[in-house]
A and B are shown apart, each in its own frame.
Chain A
Amino acid sequence: GQNIDQPTEMTATEGAIVQINCTYQTSGFNGLFWYQQHAGEAPTFLSYNVLDGLEEKGRFSSFLSRSKGYSYLLLKELQMKDSASYLCAVHGGATNKLIFGTGTLLAVQP
């Protein structure tokens, strides 16, 4: 079957670093996406990984290990505006569709 797991909620402090994990089991793999979604708003694209390793983009980085079915999103220098849900999604090769995890709700505290 197809399964994507993320922690439901996380809390972190302003200025700190937080790592949001995502593990997946899918019948195919053509890449992994991370999206940010503020409450009641549209998800916005953060990163895409298809090869193993770390992709850095400003304060946000994303890591992928295909052999372990594992990814993480790293947020540095946390700001209050980073409080949002973070969605992990896998492009399943066999179905050519995106499969979404349930999302991780991150609360950044002063």
Chain B
Amino acid sequence: DGGITQSPKYLFRKEGQNVTLSCEQNLNHDAMYWYRQDPGQGLRLIYYSQIVNDFQKGDIAEGYSVSREKKESFPLTVTSAQKNPTAFYLCASTPGTGANQPQHFGDGTRLSIL
């Protein structure tokens, strides 16, 4: 079955450390997205990519970086510059960028600070 796989499910980061969250999809979707979800807040867009080798900043990109070297993969790095990284991170994809295309989400990665 096609879908989006995020790993790991739980991740712990030490102070000053960079960590990378994996997101892989086998849906043949062009567009991929990273969201952050905090209690009491809606999903907030970190970065998105509409096509391979291209990506744009979302609303809260500071302290994060991404790459899109392959269509299937859109890893997110949480850098030491992100001072409040504890959150639930969700990766999503859509076939293209049409407004009527629902986003397919992965199961998320919960990141905590040690």
Which of A4, A50, A87 makes the CB contact (< 8 A) with B100? A50
Please classify how large the interface on chain B is, using the bins under 10, 10 to 19, 20 to 34, 35 or more: 20 to 34
Cβ-based interface call for B108 (8 A): yes
Bound complex: CA A31 to CA B99 (Å): 7
Q: Is A40 an interface residue (CB 8 A)?
A: yes
User: Cα distance A93–B90 when bound, in Å?
Assistant: 23
Count of chain A residues near B, Cβ 8 A? 25
Tell me the residues in window 71-114 of chain B with beta carbons closer than 8 Å to chain A beta carbons.
88, 90, 97, 99-100, 102-108, 110
Q: A96-B97, A97-B58 are in contact. Are A45 and B102 (CB under 8 A)?
A: yes
CA distance A100 to B60 in the complex (A): 14
Chain B residues with CB under 8 A of A102: 40-42
**A97-B48, A97-B58, A102-B41 as given contacts; A91 in contact with B103, CB under 8 Å:** no
List of A residues within 8 angstroms of B102 by Cβ: 33, 45, 48
B46 CB → nearest A CB, Å: 11
Is A30's CB under 8 angstroms from B99's CB?
Answer: yes
Q: Is the CB of B105 within 8 A of A43?
A: yes
**B residues in contact with A100, CB < 8 Å:** 35, 42-44
Binding site for B on A (CB under 8 A): 4, 8, 30-31, 33, 40-45, 48, 50, 87, 89, 91, 93, 96-103
Residues on B lying within 8 angstroms of A by beta carbon are 35, 40-45, 48, 58, 88, 90, 97, 99-100, 102-108, 110
Q: A96-B99, A97-B48 are in contact. List 11 more A-B contacts (CB 8 A).
A: A30-B99, A31-B99, A33-B102, A40-B88, A40-B108, A41-B108, A42-B108, A43-B103, A48-B102, A100-B35, A102-B40
